[in-house]
Structure 1
Amino acid sequence: MKKFLTALVITASTMTFAQQTEQNKCNLPVNYQEPKPDKKVQSFLKKVDATIEDLRKHIAVENDCNEKDVIFLKISEQKGNGMYSVCVAGKPMKYKRMGSVFMGSSENPFDTANSGK
């Protein structure tokens, strides 16, 4: 009975892990077109180096990949902030912009406990 339960747990955990890793890939069609950002917002953000292309460079450096490996899936932005869903070398990620600062969507810029002081 113990062997059966052990085998069942191992099989179930393996199948669950396999499904989770399969979800971590971006399955984009060959002819995928990136969404177009608002031109008025982009021209405003150009003054402070916070355009979509600046974010693409930031993501490429942060993830140690080429800029062409960064593909935007969803863009939601205003002059003061923005949320971006991207596919980075086959891995889905989310970024946000506060003013002219880009960061991962889970990062908290006001968290001083983890700043190393």
Structure 2
Amino acid sequence: MKKIVIIIILLISVRAYSQTTTTNNKCDLPKDFKEPKPEKKLQSMLKMVGATLDDLKKHIAVEHDCDEKDVVILRVSEQMGNGMYSVCVMGKPMKYKRMGSVFMKADENPFDVAK
């Protein structure tokens, strides 16, 4: 009987202190949020191949059938050959990556031919 009571108490306490895994699929941006400024030297080099942040916004807007103003860039981490971007598309957070001059969702594998 003691073991059953201890197990029940243990299960209740674990359940009470466990983390909830509810995801918030909403971008809650403050009214004074400003998109990050791109590095001008890098953007001028990327302009030659058509891989600037404006091109990313155009790509996402076409992919999701929305206006460019509905795409908000949250974070940018880029180099000449690749880049990672966190964006908010129509209130929904998403991640994109760039390989060379090609933009794609971060979870996509361009070399997966089994589709």
Residue 27 of structure 1, CA deviation: 0.2
Identity %: 69
TM-score (normalised: structure 1): 0.79
AA aligned opposite 2:34: Q
- Structure 2 SS opposite 1:48: coil
Task: Find runs of 4+ consecutive structure 1 residues off by over 4 angstroms.
Answer: none
Report the counterpart of residue 26 of structure 1 in structure 2.
27
- Structure 1 SS opposite 2:88: strand
The whole-number CA distance in structure 1 between the counterparts of 2:86 and 2:101 is 17
Structure 2: which 5+ residue stretches go unaligned?
1-19
The whole-number CA distance in structure 2 between the counterparts of 1:28 and 1:95 is 19
The whole-number CA distance in structure 1 between the counterparts of 2:51 and 2:81 is 10
The alignment yields a C-alpha RMSD, in angstroms, of: 1.3
Bigger proportion of residues as helix: 1
Residue 56 of structure 1, CA deviation: 0.2
Structure 1: which 5+ residue stretches go unaligned?
1-15
The whole-number CA distance in structure 1 between the counterparts of 2:27 and 2:62 is 20
Q: Deviations over 1:88-115 (max 9, x none)?
A: 010000000000000000000011111x
TM-score (normalised: structure 2): 0.80
Report the counterpart of residue 82 of structure 1 in structure 2.
83
Q: Radius of gyration: which is bigger?
A: 2
* Alignment of structure 1 residues 99-110 onto 2, 5 Å: 99-110=100-111
The total of aligned residue pairs comes to 96
